[in-house]
């Protein structure tokens, strides 16, 4: 950075500092009536040296998630709140329509006891439950990894296979297609039913829809957020429980009905099942 560049940087830093100080003073003067704008400087996508994430434009990466380094994510996938995908010493690949749920850690292996250099490969339409750990392994298309499961280096979860919640899958274990494995260490439990195979597919579709709703909410301006907050406060004590006690039926206020264009492309918000099993 030359002399001119340093001067411009210094002036910019001074302006930002002054603006922040004025904002704090203004907030104090407004007291309890102030509107808090919750800004985050967290970087959801971050390079490591010359390695940078390659993320499709239709992917939802939640605020607070971290996608770092050599990571590729396909169309329609979602990376939820608190997740870390760290492709620093090797690469991570996530296919299309896959959901990696809140607080999951995905990492890779440069060296291990077996002497293998292992990326982490996650296929299409995979569901990875909350707080899972996926390390240097392969999860094939349409597979399911339950909440809190840990998959160690060299593990392969084949297509239409399921790892039960809380399981520990030891190094280099292969879980065949159509089987459920669980426990610590994980072992074969039983075959998947046709209903469970269908559920795995439906779970991925549900999360594609749910991710679109969260993406829409996260794209709202501060003005939109504050208007909706005021409306919710106005009707806070007029919910279904309140109405049930009074024995009345109340129509939803027009202000609270979502418009048809809340999703990208003007699509109406899809109906998302409230019951989840993972």
User: Is the predicted pLDDT of residue 149 greater than 60, yes or no?
Assistant: yes
How many CB atoms sit inside 10 A of residue 33's CB? Answer: 6
Cis peptide before 56 (omega within 30 of 0): no
With CA atoms as reference, report the closest residue to 208 among 250, 264, 157. Answer: 264
Give tens-digit pLDDT for 83-108.
999 999 899 999 999 999 999 999 99
How big is the chain, counted in residues? 278
Contact predicate 271/210, CB 8 Å = no
Give Cα 214 distance to the centre of its chain. Answer: 9
Residue listed under structure tokens 């779970």: 203
Among 35-49, 221-235, 242-256, where is mean pLDDT lowest?
Answer: 242-256
pLDDT at 23: 77
With CA atoms as reference, report the closest residue to 154 among 172, 139, 170, 140. Answer: 172
pTM of the model: 0.69
Q: Confidence class of residue 277 from pLDDT cuts 50, 70 and 90?
A: very low
Give tens-digit pLDDT for 168-214.
999 999 999 999 999 999 999 999 999 999 988 888 999 998 999 89
pLDDT at 12: 82
Give tens-digit pLDDT for 12-53.
878 877 877 887 788 778 777 666 665 556 788 989 888 989
What's the mean pLDDT when you consider all of the chain?
A: 82
- % of the chain exceeding 70 in pLDDT: 78
pLDDT at 213: 87
Q: Confidence class of residue 157 from pLDDT cuts 50, 70 and 90?
A: very high
pLDDT at 142: 95
pLDDT at 15: 84
pLDDT at 272: 40
User: Is the predicted pLDDT of residue 238 greater than 70, yes or no?
Assistant: no
User: Is the predicted pLDDT of residue 78 greater than 90, yes or no?
Assistant: yes
Largest CA distance in the chain: 74
With CA atoms as reference, report the closest residue to 129 among 145, 141, 118, 113. Answer: 145
Q: Averaged over 210-231, what is the pLDDT? A: 83
């Amino acid at each position: 950075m030359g002399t001119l560049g340093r001067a411009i940087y210094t002036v910019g830093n001074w302006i930002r500092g002054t603006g922040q100080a004025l904002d704090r003073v203004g907030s104090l003067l407004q007291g309890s009536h102030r509107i808090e704008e919750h800004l985050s400087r967290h970087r959801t996508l971050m390079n490591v040296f010359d390695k940078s994430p390659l993320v499709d434009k239709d992917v939802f990466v939640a605020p607070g998630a971290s996608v770092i380094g050599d990571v590729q994510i396909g169309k329609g996938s979602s990376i939820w709140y608190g997740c870390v995908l760290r492709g620093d010493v090797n690469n991570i690949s996530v296919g299309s329509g896959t959901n990696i749920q809140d607080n999951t850690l995905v990492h890779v292996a440069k060296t291990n006891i077996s002497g293998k250099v292992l990326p982490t490969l996650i296929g299409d339409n995979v569901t990875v439950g909350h707080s899972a750990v996926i390390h240097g392994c392969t999860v094939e298309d349409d597979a399911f990894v339950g909440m809190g499961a840990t998959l160690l280096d060299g593990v392969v979860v084949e297509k239409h296979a399921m790892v039960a919640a809380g399981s520990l899958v030891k190094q280099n274990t292969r879980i065949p297609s159509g089987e459920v494995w669980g426990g610590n260490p994980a072992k074969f439990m039983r075959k998947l039913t046709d209903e469970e195979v269908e559920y795995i597919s439906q779970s991925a579709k549900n999360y594609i829809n749910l991710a679109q709703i969260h993406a829409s909410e996260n794209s709202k301006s501060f003005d939109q957020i504050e208007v909706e907050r005021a409306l919710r406060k106005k009707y806070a004590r007029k919910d279904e429980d309140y109405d049930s006690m009074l024995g009345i039926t109340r129509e939803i206020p027009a202000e609270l009905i979502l418009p048809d264009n809340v999703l990208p492309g003007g699509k109406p918000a899809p109906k998302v099942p409230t019951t989840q099993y993972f």
